[in-house]
Structure 1
Amino acid sequence: MGNESDPLDARLAGRLAELRTEHGWSLEELAQRADVSRSTLSRLERGEISPTAALLGKLCAAYGRPMSRLLAEVEPAPPQLLPASRQPVWRDHETGFTRRSVSPPHPGLRGEVVESVLSPGADIAYEEPPVAGLEHHLWMLDGSLQLTVDGVTHALVPGDCLRYRLWGPSRFVNPGPGDVRYVLLIVLP
C-alpha cells in the first residue's frame, strides 16, 4: 500500500531520498551498505511502500544517525502562533515554582522559551543538567534572583541577562521579598 494517504510517510520517503543524494550514493550503493534490495529502496523513496521499523533501522545504521533524529526531521512544522491559553503551565506548590512553556520544545526546533516565577524564599537546586552543555539565556523581569551556576553565584535584578552553558549543578534562590519572574531561552547543543 502506498503512503500517499499518510503525510508523515510521504515526508519520510522524500527525506530518505534526500539523504541518499546528500551522501552521493546510488541506489545500488545504498542497497549494499544497508543490506536492502535496490527495488525496495526505489519503491520506498517513491512513496510506493511504507517502511517497517526493521527497514528504517537498517537505513539509519547506513546513514549513521538515530531513528529518533530521522523521524524528527520529518515531523510537521511546529505551529507559528502559540496563544497564551495553549502554553502549558506547571506548578510545584512545595517549592513555589511556576513554569510556563511559552514556546514548548518541538522535534524540528532546537530552542524553547520558558517563563518562570519563584515565590519569596524559593530555593531550587539541580544536581546536574538534563543535557550537558545546555545553552541558557536568562533574562530577569521582576524581583532579585541569586543564581548559582557551576559554583559561581550571580545576583540578578530586572533587565539583567545571564548567558551560560550548563555543565554542572545550578541553584535558583529568591531571597524575597516579592516574586521573581524571568524568561529563560534554552538551546539544545
Structure 2
Amino acid sequence: MSKQQTIVTTETATHQSLDKHLGNTLRHIRTENGLTIADVAMRANVSRGMLSKIENGLTSPSLEKLEHLANALGVKLSRLFHDYDTPMGGAQYVKNGEGMEVVRRGTKSGHTYHLLAYDTGPKKLFEPFLITLNEESEVFDPFEHAGTEFIYMLEGKLEYTVGDERFILEPGDSLTFHAEQPHRPETKLKMPIQYLAIIYYDSLDDFEDDSYKN
C-alpha cells in the first residue's frame, strides 16, 4: 500500500469514527429528553431520513446542520464532540519479577528496588517501588525527600523509624508519613524482608527536584 493510500485510509477511518460518535451522542441526547426522530427533525429543519442516517453514522453532517441539531436538542454544539477521541485503557501491566530494577542509595549494600510503574507521561506524580532487603547487616542513613510515602509490608519483620517514632512492621501492616521527615529501615527482625513503598508527590516540581526516592 502506498503512503497516499495509507493517509486516505486513515482519514476515512477517522471520519467514520467521528460520524459514529456524533450519531451516538445525538441519539443519546434525543432519547434522554424523550424526543422522537420526528420531533428533532422538525425543529432542526432536516428530514427524518437524514436524521436517521446521521444517528446511525451513515453520513457526515455539515457543521451548520450539526448546529441546527444541537439547537433543536437544547445543547451547545461543543456537547456533541464531548469525549470524542478520549484515550481508553492505558493500563500498565507488570508481571511478577519484571519490574524495572533501579539504582538508589543503598543498592550496593543489598537494598534492591524494583520500579513497578514507569513511562507514564511527563507528569509523574507517584512512584511505586518493590523493595527487598537482602542483607541483615546493612545499615542505612536517614532518607529525606519530598512527598508523602506509603509503605505496605509483604514479608519479614522490620523496625522502621520516622522522625523520633519507631514502628514494627509485619506482613499486612502499613505506614504513611510525610517523607520530608528523616526515615529509614532500622532493625531487621525477620529475614527476608520485602515491602511496597509508594511515593506521592504534591507537584511535578517535587518529583523533578527529588534526588532520592526511598
Residue in structure 2 matching 1:101, options 115, 122, 129 = 115
Q: Is the 8 A contact 2:159 2:189 kept in 1?
A: no
Structure 1 CA distance for aligned equivalents of residues 153 and 178 of structure 2: 17
- The letter of the residue matching 1:124 is F
Counterparts in 2 of 1:147-158, with a 5 A limit?
147-158=160-171
Q: Which residue number corresponds to residue 146 of structure 1?
A: 159
Instruction: Point out where structure 1 has 5 or more consecutive residues left out of the alignment.
Output: 1-75
Counterparts in 2 of 1:14-53, with a 5 A limit?
none
Secondary structure at 2:191's aligned position in 1? coil
Structure 1 CA distance for aligned equivalents of residues 101 and 119 of structure 2: 14
Q: Is the 8 A contact 1:144 1:176 kept in 2?
A: yes
Structure with higher helix content: 2
Counterparts in 2 of 1:93-172, with a 5 A limit?
94-104=108-118, 106=120, 107-119=122-134, 120-129=136-145, 131=146, 134-172=147-185
Q: Is the 8 A contact 2:92 2:117 kept in 1?
A: no
Instruction: Point out where structure 2 has 5 or more consecutive residues left out of the alignment.
Output: 1-86, 203-214
Secondary structure at 1:173's aligned position in 2? strand
How far does residue 156 in structure 1 lie from its aligned partner after superposition? 0.7
What are the superposed Cα offsets for residues 53-77 of structure 1, whole Å, 9 maximum, x if unpaired? xxxxxxxxxxxxxxxxxxxxxxx99
How far does residue 86 in structure 1 lie from its aligned partner after superposition? 5.6
TM-aligned CA distance change 1:170 to 1:135, over 3 Å: same
How far does residue 121 in structure 1 lie from its aligned partner after superposition? 2.9
Q: Which residue number corresponds to residue 100 of structure 2?
A: 88
Q: Which residue number corresponds to residue 26 of structure 1?
A: none
Max Rg structure = 2
How far does residue 176 in structure 1 lie from its aligned partner after superposition? 4.1
Could you say what the CA RMSD is over the residues aligned between the two structures, in angstroms? 2.8
Structure 1 CA distance for aligned equivalents of residues 128 and 111 of structure 2: 16
How far does residue 78 in structure 1 lie from its aligned partner after superposition? 11
| Matched pairs, number | 111
Q: Is the 8 A contact 1:138 1:182 kept in 2?
A: yes
Secondary structure at 1:143's aligned position in 2? strand
TM-aligned CA distance change 1:113 to 1:88, over 3 Å: same
How far does residue 159 in structure 1 lie from its aligned partner after superposition? 0.5
Structure 1 CA distance for aligned equivalents of residues 113 and 172 of structure 2: 19
TM-aligned CA distance change 1:99 to 1:93, over 3 Å: closer
Structure with higher strand content: 1
Structure 1 CA distance for aligned equivalents of residues 107 and 127 of structure 2: 23
Structure 2 CA distance for aligned equivalents of residues 121 and 78 of structure 1: 44
Structure 2 CA distance for aligned equivalents of residues 121 and 147 of structure 1: 15
Structure 1 CA distance for aligned equivalents of residues 123 and 150 of structure 2: 20
Structure 1 CA distance for aligned equivalents of residues 163 and 89 of structure 2: 33
Scaled by the length of structure 1, the TM-score of the pair is 0.50
How far does residue 152 in structure 1 lie from its aligned partner after superposition? 1.2
